[in-house]
Amino acid sequence: ICKSTTTIKGCKGEIDKEYGCRECLTGYYLINKECSKCGKQCMTCLNEKECNKCEDEYIIINKECIHYSNINKCKETKNNKCSKCSFWYGINEDGTKCNKEIVWWMIMIIIIIILIIIIIIITIIIIMINYIIKRKEKKEQEKTTTIFKISQSNIKFISIGDGIITNKKEIGEGEKIEVNKEIREIICIGNENKEKKRKYK
C-alpha cells in the first residue's frame, strides 16, 4: 500500500520513501514504519497500551497513566509516582499507592504533651497542699502569737542586744506571783533589724 508522506504524522525527521519513519515524536510509537499516537496523557510508550512516561501529575500504574487525584490519599506526584500522601498515610515502594501507617513522631509529641500536663497538674496540687498547710500553721500560730510592725506599736521596748528588743526582761518584774493561781502576761519580742516583733500571750 502506498501512502503520501504528508498523511503520515508523528515522524521525527525526514520520512524515508522506502523505509518510512525511523523515529517518532514524543507521544508516538513506531509500528509498521509508521508512528501511532500513544494513549491519553502518555508521553513515551511501547505501544498504545504500554506507557513508559506520563505527563506531569499522572502516575504510571500497570503501564497506564492515572491522575494522582484518583489515587486514594495521594497529594503530590514526582517522576510519575506519588510523592506525598495525606497525614497518617505513607507511600508504598512502587509509589503507586498510599497505605495507612503510624506516625511515630506525632505519637511521641502527644505523649510528651500528656506528660507535661500531668507534671503541671502534680505541681499545682503540691503548691495547693503547701499553701493549705501554711495557712493552717499560720492559724495555729495566730492562736498564741500576734505579729505586727514595731513602728505601728505604742509599746515601750527595751533593747537586749543584737537588735533584739522586748517589753519585759522578767515575768512579773518584781511582782509577787501567787501559787496555784492562773495569771496572764503579755511578752513582746521584736527585731529592730527586720522591723518585726512577736507578742506572746
CA separation (Å) from 25 to 29, 63, 185? 8, 19, 116
3-state secondary structure of 30: strand
pLDDT tens-place string over residues 129-183: 999 999 999 888 877 777 777 777 788 888 888 888 888 877 665 567 677 777 7
The candidate with the shortest Cα–Cα distance to 94, out of 126, 71, 120, is 71
Q: What is the DSSP string of 43-85?
A: EEEEETTEEEEE-TTEEEETTEEEEGGGSTTEEEEETTEEEEE
Query: Residue 32 above 50 pLDDT?
Result: yes
pLDDT at 183: 73
Highest-confidence range of 66-70, 100-104, 187-191, by mean pLDDT? 66-70
Q: With contact defined as beta carbons under 8 Å apart, do 197 and 186 qualify?
A: no
* pTM listed for this prediction: 0.50
The pLDDT confidence band at residue 8, using thresholds 50, 70 and 90, is confident
**For the chain, domain boundaries:** 5-104, 141-173+182-201
Buried b or exposed e, range 12-45, using 16+ CB within 10 angstroms? eeebeeeebbeebeebbbbeeebbbebbebbbeb
Percentages helix, strand, coil for the chain, rounded to the nearest 5?
A: 25, 35, 40
Beta bridge partners of 85: 74
3-state secondary structure of 2: coil
CA angle, residues 54, 72, 69, in degrees to nearest 5: 45
pLDDT at 149: 78
* Residue 40 backbone dihedrals phi, psi, to 5 degrees: -60, 140
Query: Residue 119 above 50 pLDDT?
Result: yes
CATH ID of 5-104, from 2.10.220, 1.10.3710, 3.40.50, 1.20.1530: 2.10.220
Q: Sign of torsion, CA 64 65 71 75? A: positive
Percent above pLDDT 70 for the chain: 90
CB atoms within 10 A of CB 81: 16
pLDDT at 172: 60
pLDDT at 199: 47
